[in-house]
Amino acid sequence: GETIGILGGGQLGRMIAVAAAQLGYRCHIFAPEADSIAAEVSAAFTCADWHDAEALARFAADCAVVTYEFENVPVAPLLQLGDTVLHPHPRALETAQDRLNEKTFVTDLGGAPAPFAPVDSAADLDAAIAAIGAPGILKTRRDGYDGKGQWRIMTAEDARGLDLPAKPLIYEGFVNFFAEFSVILCRGEDGDIRYFDSAQNIHEGGILSLSTVPASAEVEAQVPAARELAARVADALGYVGVLTLEFFATRDGPVFNEMAPRVHNSGHWTIEGAVTSQFENHVRAICGLPLGGTGLAARAVEMRNLIGDEAHDWPAILSDPANHLHLYGKAAARPGRKMGHVTRLTFD
Ligand code: ATP
Ligand code: MG
Ligand code: MG
């Protein structure tokens, strides 16, 4: 079959590759890490630096289409690839890689993020706190994930003691949410959009811990407005593939948190819990195939992340027939590392 190129070598790439194999495609992984768990289940692997233009060009020449499982791939080398088909377009990466760009872009489309201000100095931070108030969260504009690169600021005095990193930052007001949820959509080459059910997400220490579908009725009530915004984002970017937007559910309606131009951890439940998984629909979209149904395949679904080195009793998990176990094949279990997940379907 044809070859799909995937930029990034982690568990999201691994699960895309598994879905692609089922549809008869082979995958070629391009990633800087030598021990790629996506490459383990793929036909080809280029281990190279993101900026290695020659390696990237050889990789692209092998692929009918190139996609991403990691949103922080440097964009400039991608734009030099000439006639390679890139789905989604690198402009989606460019927008999502910088929290300031992302929030400005979404605000221009009518979305409502928390109040925010760029911070490049201690004086900027003082001004941002004066304008927005405290508590708030100071975040690095780029490269943050799983809550890394974030500082909670409870009072203006807190900020005085901070040793600011020499990186572009953003200060945002603390959102008093009653729940978090995500919108995951898939947009085809023809502009057709399908939405998965929105999962209600619980984070622990900045890391996704639990996704539940369906979400509570209070959260469900906010999903239509959130979907409308997500569709505007997808259309504005000419997006092809799976796109995720994270929201805070507040008494005043959905507040946009951030977007991910890719399949998402809060959509892992779709592998068993939806008619078509986010991974299969992403493959279908980027390959120009019709999209599969996104409806629920059970009454309720729950996805729990397996994080860090806590010991798990795999036979005990598997002895419950409602559980599906996914292990990513990662070697060392560092604290906070996503090692796998368990999906549980309920039918009654
Ligand atoms: P991800 O792994 O989802 O990319 P990230 O490092 O980009 O995470 P965020 O999504 O910005 O981090 O924040 C992680 C979590 O921290 C959020 O899901 C939420 O629980 C909390 N959080 C972040 N920003 C705010 C805010 N402005 N107000 C309240 N809580 C927040
Ligand atoms: Mg993020
Ligand atoms: Mg997030």
Whether the full predicted model's pTM is greater than 0.90, yes or no, is yes
Q: Which of 198, 168, 167, 192 is nearest to 274 (CA)?
A: 198
340 annotated as ligand-binding: no
Residues 292 and 312 in one domain: yes
C-beta 151 within 6 A of ligand 1: no
The CATH code of the domain that includes 159 is 3.30.1490.20
**61, 148: one domain:** no
Q: Looking at ligand 1, which atom is closest to the CA of residue 173?
A: 27
Return the pLDDT at 146: 87
Same domain for 320 and 276: yes
| CB 272 less than 6 A from any atom of ligand 1 | no
Q: Is 148 assigned a ligand-binding role in the annotation?
A: yes
Quick one: which atom of ligand 1 is closest to the CA of 114? 27
The length of the chain in residues reads 348
Print the domain residue range for 14.
3-86
Domain-located, residue 95: no
Q: What ipTM was reported for this prediction?
A: 0.98
What per-residue confidence (pLDDT) applies to 150?
A: 93
pLDDT recorded at residue 334: 84
Domain count for the chain: 3
Q: CA 114 to CA 102: how far, in whole Å?
A: 12
Q: Is 253 annotated as a binding residue?
A: no
Domain match, 12 and 159 both: no
Q: What CATH number does the domain containing 251 carry? A: 3.30.470.20
* Ligand 1 pocket mutation, candidates 151, 244, 248, 257, criterion most atoms within 8 A of CB: 257
Ligand 1 in reach of 174 Cβ (< 6 A): yes
Does some domain include residue 273? yes
Ligand 3: distance of its center to the CA of 293 in Å? 26
* Cβ 164 vs Cβ 125: under 8 Å: yes
- 292: in domain: yes
Residues 119 and 200 in one domain: no
21 in a structural domain: yes
Indicate whether 94 belongs to any domain: no
Q: Which of 67, 86, 105 is the last residue of a domain?
A: 86
The protein residue whose alpha carbon is closest to atom 13 in ligand 1 is 147
* Domain match, 38 and 77 both: yes
Q: Which atom of ligand 1 is nearest to the CA of 145?
A: 6
174 annotated ligand binder: yes
Let me know: does 50 contact 28? Beta carbons within 8 Å: no
- Considering the domain architecture, whether residues 167 and 223 belong to the same structural domain is answered as no
Place of tokens 């997940």: 341
109: in domain: no
Residue ending a domain, among 125, 157, 173, is 173
226 in the same domain as 265: yes
Examine the domain organization and report whether 169 and 197 are in the same domain.
no
Domain of 45: which CATH number? Answer: 3.40.50.20
Domain end residue (candidates: 86, 101, 132): 86
> Which ligand gives the minimal distance to the CA of 207?
1
Does the beta carbon of 137 sit less than 6 angstroms from any atom of ligand 1?
yes
Separation of CA 131 and ligand 1 centre (Å) = 21
Please report whether residue 97 resides in a domain.
no
Angle between helices 278-286 and 11-22 (to 10 degrees): 70
62 in any annotated domain: yes
212 and 121 fall within a common domain: no
Quickly list H helices, the chain. 11-22, 53-61, 75-79, 90-96, 99-108, 122-132, 156-160, 217-220, 223-236, 270-273, 278-286, 314-318
Instruction: Going residue by residue through the chain, which has 348 residues, state the pLDDT in tens, using 9 for 90 and above.
Output: 799 999 999 999 999 999 999 999 999 999 999 999 999 999 999 999 999 999 999 999 999 999 999 999 999 999 999 889 999 999 999 999 999 999 999 999 999 999 999 999 999 999 999 999 999 999 999 998 888 999 999 998 888 888 888 999 999 999 999 999 999 999 999 999 999 999 999 999 999 999 999 999 999 999 999 999 999 999 999 999 999 999 999 999 999 999 999 999 999 999 999 999 999 999 999 999 999 999 999 999 999 999 987 777 889 999 999 999 999 999 877 888 999 999 999 998
Do 282 and 333 fall within a single domain? yes
- Contact assessment for residue 186 and residue 278, using Cβ atoms and an 8 Å cutoff: yes
End-to-end Cα, the chain, rounded Å: 40
Q: Do 165 and 190 fall into the same domain?
A: no
